[in-house]
Amino acid sequence: MRKIIHCDCDCFYAAVEVRDNPQLRGLPVAVGGSPNSRGVIATCSYEARAYGVRSAMSSAKALQLCPELVFLKSDMAKYRDASRAMHEIFKQYSDCIEPLSLDEAYLDVTDISKCSGSATLMAKEIRARVNQQLGITISAGVAPNKFLAKVASDWNKPDGLFVIRPEEVANFVIGLDVSKINGVGRVTKSKLNQMGINTCGDLQKLSETELVRSFGQYGKRLFSVARGIDNRPVQVDRVRKSVSVERTYSNDLKSLAAVIECLPALLQELRGRCKQKLREGKTVIKRFVKVKFFDFTQTTLEHKLDSTCEEWDSDDIYGELLKAAWARQGKSVRLLGVGVRLGENDPVESRQLSLL
């Protein structure tokens, strides 16, 4: 039986900005792009959320919902510093930490003797120390597995703590909405609801075979988590499987020629981001492009490398991918992305073997 803590900062970027400028306290604050361009909200304070403002919303729409919204440019260096300081606190409670982002992480404290071995007391101490030392708040969830710990951390936000004890799991999941299951997005939730499934208790009425028939291999996970089962370990070393670059343009790209004209700058940035990963022994196995049109519909297209010695960053091949992706709708474009899928560089696989 594991003891897992999931820590998640409350509106992290905005919280750091308010900490550094107390005059912003109590005001609706958003960190992201300008509403006068193609800006998007990265995160916002709870005062802003009361107006319906949300992450990933266009800044222009956010301003319509909340005319008093205070817009701030993101300062990633400052946020990374706060994240590093927060993770130093985490390390004093466990060596088994899985970072999910700058402001979110799992801690496995199963065999930790600190706080008399109580995961709940450890979570309380972590929250208090982050608040005292960094001036921001985090919410935490404590549970026997990662799935439930993440659900729990969101239960009493902001600045909350929720604990799901092993003996409480069975009753807790029965009434849990299926939207709380990671991987259940709008489309999957709609499909489940159409099947008369709204809670994990409803899911429990279906066999694994029935769920696999309807949802493929993901049906196996639905079958397990609906019963509060999640055997995934906390992974200290998370393998990065892709690197990408995206850019939203102030003015729509009206033609294919305008799209192709933007490619060199995107590829130059992508090459810079890939350098470190390729030095670490990774190899590019696929290229991909993403095109988001003016009406927010989007498409992606990828291409597998034919050999390990092939140049992955060929302008010509990325150009052909963009042409094919754009042709699927042939409309004005607001966002372009280019990226690569990564794999291990296996010398046995990549070398030429003797025919003898």
Question: Following DSSP, what letter does each residue of 120-143 receive, concatenated?
Answer: HHHHHHHHHHHHHHHS--EEEEEE
Say yes or no to pLDDT of 348 above 60.
Answer: no
Supply the pLDDT for residue 228.
Answer: 95
Say yes or no to pLDDT of 187 above 60.
Answer: yes
Average pLDDT, the chain: 89
Annotation marks residue 104 as catalytic: yes
Q: What is the DSSP letter of 158?
A: S
Say yes or no to pLDDT of 349 above 60.
Answer: no
> What is the pLDDT confidence band of residue 347, given thresholds at 50, 70 and 90?
very low
Fold of 13-75: MutS, DNA mismatch repair protein, domain I (3.40.1170)
Q: Decide: 86 and 92 in contact? Cβ < 8 Å.
A: no
Supply the pLDDT for residue 308.
Answer: 60
Which two tokens mark 339? 């990226």
Report the DSSP beta bridge partners of residue 242. 341
Question: Mapping DSSP to helix (H, G, I), strand (E, B) and coil, where does residue 197 land?
Answer: coil
Q: How far is residue 107's CA from residue 102's CA, in Å, rounded to a whole number?
A: 14
User: Is 8 labeled as ligand-binding?
Assistant: yes
Mean pLDDT of 298-312: 80
Q: How far is residue 192's CA from residue 26's CA, in Å, rounded to a whole number?
A: 39
User: Is 103 labeled as ligand-binding?
Assistant: yes
Which residues fall within 8 angstroms of residue 346, CB to CB, at 6 or more apart?
none
Q: What is the DSSP letter of 176?
A: -
Backbone angles phi, psi at 240, to 5 degrees: -80, 125
CATH number attached to the domain at 4-10+77-169? 3.30.70.270
Identity of residue 135: G
How is the chain split into domains, by residue range? 4-10+77-169, 13-75, 170-225, 242-347
Which two tokens mark 353? 């073997």
Q: How far apart are the first and last CA of the chain?
A: 53
Q: How far is residue 120's CA from residue 60's CA, in Å, rounded to a whole number?
A: 42
Of 109-118, 242-251, 270-279, the range with the lowest mean pLDDT is: 270-279
> What is the pLDDT confidence band of residue 304, given thresholds at 50, 70 and 90?
confident
Mean pLDDT of 113-126: 96
Say yes or no to pLDDT of 355 above 60.
Answer: no
Mean pLDDT of 31-45: 85
Q: Report the phi/psi class of residue 7: left, alpha or beta, with left for phi > 0 and alpha for psi in -120 to 50.
A: beta
Q: Report the phi/psi class of residue 117: left, alpha or beta, with left for phi > 0 and alpha for psi in -120 to 50.
A: left
pTM reported for the whole predicted model: 0.76
Which two tokens mark 75? 């300062």
Query: In CATH, what is the architecture of 170-225?
Result: Orthogonal Bundle (1.10)
Q: How far is residue 120's CA from residue 164's CA, in Å, rounded to a whole number?
A: 10
Q: How far is residue 193's CA from residue 188's CA, in Å, rounded to a whole number?
A: 9
Of the candidates 123, 84, 77, 128, which has an alpha carbon nearest to the alpha carbon of residue 103?
84
**Which sign does the torsion angle of CA 279, 77, 99, 150 carry?**
negative
Supply the pLDDT for residue 280.
Answer: 65
Fold of 242-347: Dna Ligase; domain 1 (3.30.1490)
Out of 47, 88, 104, 125, pick the active-site residue.
104
Say yes or no to pLDDT of 239 above 60.
Answer: yes
